[in-house]
A and B are shown apart, each in its own frame.
Chain A
């Protein structure tokens, strides 16, 4: 290794980067064809250099490939590299190289055999894979471990190109055999390949048995650090039969915690954590979890990138098992020169580990951080102090005094952040720390960020009676009302109303001014709505207004960045993966098609929890009293609000609940929902004048289609048909009026045809030749979605017209892909204007709770999104899709004795029918 330059024959490679002359391609081509070996090699190097900087050199493909027949291994490697890059662009020419590969795969030198197999696997050309099978099979059984370890990975490559081929050729079994190979590196790569195939294929091809388990644990001691990672990661997915086995594995894995490579350590932590739940003996469990702390702390002495990854993981671990690191809080104190992203993560963990025992020390630290340079970090530190106060009741006094000290520094952003957290502290401990209000009010002028302003305004409104000049203070803010952000405006409105309710004599003027600005000068619907609500409340029943606006607020807890238990469990299982860094399930960022999970029920529950949490968070962070109060009243009593709508306050946006109710209770046959595709004979040969038709509904990829089988019993061949549908509930119409059979059906023959139908109301005339046509909708009440669809078919050859009807079920029309995630649902809901909303109340449905409603709707492909409680009522959200095209959003409020249904869809003609449909399902 003494002298790099002299060891290389042709000097350094950098000169290959410098050729940018004209006619370069031509020159290169000539050089590639040169008989001189060195010249040839240099030319290939130039090509590779061009490829590296992103220039397209694919036009030299043939010339480069011609260099493949060489004894020079360096040249060979370069050509292979070129091939991997450009094979896809020239699949035909790539085949020219096959012979060389096959020959190389038999070379006496194992390194060359491996090189050939490795490269072939990287060439993603369908035709090549056929030639790959034989060499690969031989390589998997090769005498040389180096070849076998390369072949093992190659199986995973091949699986990605052609999964079926791998299964047919029995390569999976060979891989499983390799797990018991005597060579540790081969074992590791086989494990890696099997895990990957398990992941992409969705079924467990690894199949760990007791025998392979022992083999894996043995290989763990011998293979390279990377191999250890592969093995540990696959062990983490294994389900031990019982606690004893789990204990045994943990014991074999714990020594890995001492490995110098942090990836090995993290994977070992993952295995131990995932097995720990199975250990029933408390002492054993404690011993094992105690062993985890030192290596986790050691990770914090690594490079900053590793520290970051470790901290994100530790964040999960301390949520799941707070005990492990409870005495280690000191190691999470920030060093002055830590990168900011490390400091931020440490801060989160400090808050998780803070307790009455260490709060003194933590506060000193946080105060120190709050005086550092980086603004974002300072803000988070100030906020952290507030979060400590909310978490630890006994420490709240000290936290407040630290915050006041920080306010004294007069640093603008520190001040603003402090005001925001103090508001939260007030909410957590009402009537305890109001003495500091005076201090806060001294600094009103410096507040210029909306969140801080909103916070102080909330405080003023909430504690108006204890602030001498609350009216003046608010008045001061009101001067700039129109320029404020929406959050601040809402808070101002609420605070003024509060003030008015407390001091009606002096502030009537003010409240009128605010209500006026909110309802007339503002174009923000939230603000207008809230203004109207207050106005009406004040005008009709001031007592009720007091009860609502000054009502008691639920106390809050600090749950910033806290994960839901279900998600947390999932993520703890994902430790040492990117999911644990992002704190998101892998599906959220892995875009490759993953196997479908069968955990719909779990998901729904998860969503439900999240929804609730969000509500709470909203209340705590921003909404304050006014917001919370308004929310409660609106959610709690939908009917009253509707009544108000009828009173028509101002511009009549309300759309009364009337309408609907069409269709009888016997809308649906109580048959099982979403049956597998069944074709019914809808027309016998006799009825069809020689044409026998069976038809059924298919719902594939969200597209609704009518599948028909034709049997021709007539005299003439059947070539094409025309189809028309009668009006139906959702206005289904054929995508194209003509059915042209792929080939004529001779007399006595049969053909199958798929007629796609869609319901895209607005897109009727779009490129998709078939659509759902509002014009074909049956008048409300006249039809039901379960009514058979009447069709007419004209045999274009004979001119005979046949009438028949196809049985239908709601689940045929509502497609199975109507499920939205919560965020999408919310954004859609907001996107659809209120004017398009239709609602009604049914009282004749049997006493149902949300669960029953959900079950009923789910049976018809109406999907549950989320649920929240609003006083005595429960509000649930659903979505469904009609014929794969029309999206309908649904809000159902269940109260004892009545169910309110509210439907939003952007295709206006469908809103009423959709509502009627839901009603009838509920009634059924």
Chain B
């Protein structure tokens, strides 16, 4: 399938939060990779998508006059790809996401960047656009690699001697394009962060409708040379296999002492040898230097819910609602959750709320249409209660309250809802140095919702 991405057009939108301007868009930078898309097509997009504020409700793939627009947003900038061909849309979006990541790295802004950054770095962006895509085909998008030869407009390596550039080009087109040779660190260290986000959807009767964990393993590596790494989680499949091997043919009943986790699915950074994983589930790789996301995984069985929330909502007549909540932390007493926020929705015509809580603070926030209950520190194995008496202004409209779900946010350190833990990380390098390793765990709430 030819990937003919004709044009990548980041488009700016003036967001006007308080002033009464309408949303107005203009093109900040565009690069035409093919000549079948014209500039006027972009105007169509401005008119039909940005001006009509349809982002969010309409699909991000839109066909206007034979041009397909695919777009995503980053702060107030639209990143738009236009094509007239039957391209691979997933590739287009992945490319747009990657472009955003590249800019972030180059602009040195960790969270978001804005239009001013784009303007300030125009020539750099053109250079990057030239290097990351050719004729609509994504090319080199690895950030570290790009940095090795595109350096803020002044390309030092280009003036260097031919041997060096030869090495560079064979690296950036080679099989291990994410790492260059000859990296040296005084201390060899690896930081591993296991971040999980736990999703829960519970019915008003307390039945768990959906419950799963998505996790990712982030790494920061400072390793010399071209180290070969092998990484292991308490993956059920692999632990059973090992137990079987240890048992040496006898029936294996030993490995049950340690808890293992059944991973539904995982995806890996491109440095991981997928063939090897497919064959025997070992995770082996030569890491990039610095920070990267090694893998993501999904777990849906035997999830440890960090919090249990039991609501009781009563609509008493037309003008009163009483809400009672019980929230209990179900992790070890040695741990605690931070920044717990529980949003308890109330009807639109709420007039007054009287709230009592056993810990933290709760306040009615009209713009959120919810009572927001904040607890800074929530110790494990404890319980808090909440009771609210909500008075409503009588309304003429008959429409019933739609009862959105209660949402919870929290962060629990050194806890994984899935039970995943890192068993080992082995680093082999020719020079045989020793490596220091640190592991942290953290679970935060994803979509943690309880219907009422």
A residues with a Cβ closer than 8 A to B are 1-4, 7-9, 12-14, 16-17, 45, 48-49, 52-54, 73-74, 77-78, 81, 84-85, 88, 108-112, 118, 121-122, 124, 144-147, 149-150, 153, 156-157, 160, 183-186, 189, 192, 195-196, 199-200, 221-226, 229-230, 233-234, 236-237, 252, 254-256, 258-263, 265-267, 294-295, 297-298, 301, 303-306, 308-310, 330-331, 333, 335-337, 339-341, 361, 364-365, 368, 371-374, 409-411, 574, 576-579, 581-582, 586, 589-592
Instruction: List 22 contacting pairs A-B, 8 Å CB cutoff, sorted by A.
Output: A88-B35, A111-B149, A145-B174, A160-B34, A183-B174, A186-B173, A192-B3, A192-B137, A226-B139, A258-B265, A258-B266, A260-B270, A260-B293, A261-B94, A266-B90, A298-B298, A301-B298, A305-B93, A339-B56, A341-B58, A368-B451, A590-B84
Our pick among B56, B203, B400 for the contact of A364 (Cβ within 8 Å) is B203
| Known contacts A77-B126, A335-B201; A576/B90 CB under 8 A | yes
**In the docked arrangement, what's the CA distance between A8 and B274, Å?**
41
Name the residue of chain A whose CB is nearest to the CB of B153. A74
Asked whether, in the complex, the Cβ of B122 is within 8 Å of the Cβ of A52, the reply is yes
Asked whether, in the complex, the Cβ of B274 is within 8 Å of the Cβ of A255, the reply is yes
**In the docked arrangement, what's the CA distance between A305 and B137, Å?**
20
Asked whether, in the complex, the Cβ of A226 is within 8 Å of the Cβ of B141, the reply is yes
**In the docked arrangement, what's the CA distance between A244 and B134, Å?**
37
CB contacts (< 8 Å) of B83 on chain A: these are 578
Asked whether, in the complex, the Cβ of B173 is within 8 Å of the Cβ of A77, the reply is no
Q: How far is the CB of A82 from chain B (nearest CB, A)?
A: 10
| Known contacts A196-B2, A225-B270; A341/B85 CB under 8 A | no
Number of B residues with CB within 8 Å of any CB on chain A: 114
Name the residue of chain A whose CB is nearest to the CB of B124. A13
**In the docked arrangement, what's the CA distance between A576 and B116, Å?**
35
**In the docked arrangement, what's the CA distance between A577 and B199, Å?**
31
Contact mask B24-55 → A, CB, 8 Å, 1/0?
00111110111110010000000000000000
**In the docked arrangement, what's the CA distance between A580 and B275, Å?**
28
Query: Which of B66-74, B359-367, B378-386 participates in binding chain A?
Result: B66-74
Asked whether, in the complex, the Cβ of A229 is within 8 Å of the Cβ of B3, the reply is yes
Asked whether, in the complex, the Cβ of A109 is within 8 Å of the Cβ of B120, the reply is no
Asked whether, in the complex, the Cβ of A309 is within 8 Å of the Cβ of B90, the reply is yes
Asked whether, in the complex, the Cβ of B400 is within 8 Å of the Cβ of A409, the reply is yes
Q: Which residue, of B58, B175, B399, has the highest number of chain A Cβ atoms within 10 A?
A: B175
**In the docked arrangement, what's the CA distance between A45 and B127, Å?**
12
CB contacts (< 8 Å) of A2 on chain B: these are 108
CB contacts (< 8 Å) of A12 on chain B: these are 119-121
Name the residue of chain A whose CB is nearest to the CB of B107. A4
Asked whether, in the complex, the Cβ of A306 is within 8 Å of the Cβ of B278, the reply is no
Q: How far is the CB of B57 from chain A (nearest CB, A)?
A: 5
Asked whether, in the complex, the Cβ of B210 is within 8 Å of the Cβ of A330, the reply is yes
Q: How far is the CB of A215 from chain B (nearest CB, A)?
A: 14
Per CB-CB distance, the 10 closest pairs between chain A and chain B, nearest first, are A196-B2, A294-B265, A146-B169, A233-B1, A255-B274, A263-B91, A255-B278, A12-B120, A222-B175, A185-B173
CB contacts (< 8 Å) of B141 on chain A: these are 224, 226
CB contacts (< 8 Å) of A73 on chain B: these are 155, 158-159
Our pick among A9, A14, A233 for the contact of B116 (Cβ within 8 Å) is A14
**In the docked arrangement, what's the CA distance between A156 and B148, Å?**
28
Which B residues, 145 to 185, have Cβ-Cβ distances below 8 Å to chain A?
A: 147, 149, 151-155, 157-159, 162, 165-166, 169-170, 172-175, 177
Q: How far is the CB of B286 from chain A (nearest CB, A)?
A: 13
Name the residue of chain B whose CB is nearest to the CB of A330. B210
**In the docked arrangement, what's the CA distance between A45 and B30, Å?**
15
Given contacts A146-B169, A221-B274, A309-B61, 5 further A-B contacts (CB under 8 A): A111-B165, A145-B170, A147-B169, A189-B134, A196-B4
Q: How far is the CB of A662 from chain B (nearest CB, A)?
A: 46
Asked whether, in the complex, the Cβ of A303 is within 8 Å of the Cβ of B89, the reply is no
CB contacts (< 8 Å) of B174 on chain A: these are 145, 183-185
**In the docked arrangement, what's the CA distance between A574 and B174, Å?**
30
Which B residues, 1 to 24, have Cβ-Cβ distances below 8 Å to chain A?
A: 1-4
Name the residue of chain A whose CB is nearest to the CB of B39. A54
B residues with a Cβ closer than 8 A to A are 1-4, 26-30, 32-36, 39, 56-61, 63, 66, 68, 70, 72, 83-91, 93-95, 97, 105-108, 116, 119-124, 126-127, 130, 134-135, 137-142, 147, 149, 151-155, 157-159, 162, 165-166, 169-170, 172-175, 177, 199, 201, 203, 209-210, 214, 264-270, 273-275, 277-278, 293, 295-296, 298, 398-400, 402-405, 407, 447, 449, 451
Our pick among B1, B59, B158, B298 for the contact of A577 (Cβ within 8 Å) is B1
**In the docked arrangement, what's the CA distance between A1 and B148, Å?**
11
**In the docked arrangement, what's the CA distance between A589 and B151, Å?**
40
Asked whether, in the complex, the Cβ of A259 is within 8 Å of the Cβ of B91, the reply is no
Asked whether, in the complex, the Cβ of A54 is within 8 Å of the Cβ of B90, the reply is no
Name the residue of chain A whose CB is nearest to the CB of B158. A73
Q: Which residue, of A224, A265, A337, A409, has the highest number of chain B Cβ atoms within 10 A?
A: A224
Q: How far is the CB of B231 from chain A (nearest CB, A)?
A: 14
Asked whether, in the complex, the Cβ of A263 is within 8 Å of the Cβ of B88, the reply is yes
Asked whether, in the complex, the Cβ of B147 is within 8 Å of the Cβ of A109, the reply is no
Asked whether, in the complex, the Cβ of B274 is within 8 Å of the Cβ of A49, the reply is no
Q: How far is the CB of A903 from chain B (nearest CB, A)?
A: 35
Asked whether, in the complex, the Cβ of A230 is within 8 Å of the Cβ of B169, the reply is no
Name the residue of chain B whose CB is nearest to the CB of A376. B57
Asked whether, in the complex, the Cβ of B108 is within 8 Å of the Cβ of A576, the reply is no
**In the docked arrangement, what's the CA distance between A577 and B68, Å?**
12
Our pick among A225, A229, A590 for the contact of B85 (Cβ within 8 Å) is A590
Our pick among A77, A85, A361 for the contact of B130 (Cβ within 8 Å) is A77
Asked whether, in the complex, the Cβ of B122 is within 8 Å of the Cβ of A16, the reply is yes
Asked whether, in the complex, the Cβ of B278 is within 8 Å of the Cβ of A340, the reply is no
Asked whether, in the complex, the Cβ of A110 is within 8 Å of the Cβ of B137, the reply is no
| Known contacts A1-B105, A12-B120, A14-B119; A224/B142 CB under 8 A | yes
**In the docked arrangement, what's the CA distance between A298 and B26, Å?**
36
Q: How far is the CB of B276 from chain A (nearest CB, A)?
A: 8
CB contacts (< 8 Å) of B28 on chain A: these are 52
Asked whether, in the complex, the Cβ of B120 is within 8 Å of the Cβ of A195, the reply is no
Name the residue of chain B whose CB is nearest to the CB of A364. B203
Name the residue of chain B whose CB is nearest to the CB of A297. B265
Q: Which residue, of A195, A266, A365, A368, has the highest number of chain B Cβ atoms within 10 A?
A: A368
**In the docked arrangement, what's the CA distance between A150 and B152, Å?**
22
| Known contacts A73-B158, A340-B56; A229/B88 CB under 8 A | yes
Name the residue of chain A whose CB is nearest to the CB of B115. A14
CB contacts (< 8 Å) of B126 on chain A: these are 48, 77-78, 81
| Known contacts A153-B135, A306-B94; A589/B275 CB under 8 A | no
Our pick among A13, A54, A121 for the contact of B122 (Cβ within 8 Å) is A13
**In the docked arrangement, what's the CA distance between A858 and B247, Å?**
75
Asked whether, in the complex, the Cβ of B270 is within 8 Å of the Cβ of A157, the reply is no
CB contacts (< 8 Å) of B451 on chain A: these are 368
| Known contacts A54-B27, A189-B137, A225-B270; A254/B278 CB under 8 A | yes
Q: How far is the CB of A343 from chain B (nearest CB, A)?
A: 10
**In the docked arrangement, what's the CA distance between A230 and B5, Å?**
13
Q: How far is the CB of A43 from chain B (nearest CB, A)?
A: 13
Q: How far is the CB of A45 from chain B (nearest CB, A)?
A: 6
Name the residue of chain B whose CB is nearest to the CB of A228. B270
Asked whether, in the complex, the Cβ of A582 is within 8 Å of the Cβ of B278, the reply is no
Asked whether, in the complex, the Cβ of A118 is within 8 Å of the Cβ of B134, the reply is yes
Asked whether, in the complex, the Cβ of B84 is within 8 Å of the Cβ of A591, the reply is yes
Q: How far is the CB of A195 from chain B (nearest CB, A)?
A: 5
Asked whether, in the complex, the Cβ of A576 is within 8 Å of the Cβ of B86, the reply is no
Q: How far is the CB of A172 from chain B (nearest CB, A)?
A: 15
Q: How far is the CB of A673 from chain B (nearest CB, A)?
A: 35
Asked whether, in the complex, the Cβ of A145 is within 8 Å of the Cβ of B173, the reply is yes
**In the docked arrangement, what's the CA distance between A410 and B138, Å?**
53
Asked whether, in the complex, the Cβ of A373 is within 8 Å of the Cβ of B402, the reply is yes
CB contacts (< 8 Å) of B61 on chain A: these are 305, 308-309, 578, 581-582
| Known contacts A195-B1, A260-B267; A592/B403 CB under 8 A | no
Name the residue of chain B whose CB is nearest to the CB of A579. B86
Name the residue of chain B whose CB is nearest to the CB of A236. B1
CB contacts (< 8 Å) of A236 on chain B: these are 1
Asked whether, in the complex, the Cβ of A582 is within 8 Å of the Cβ of B35, the reply is no
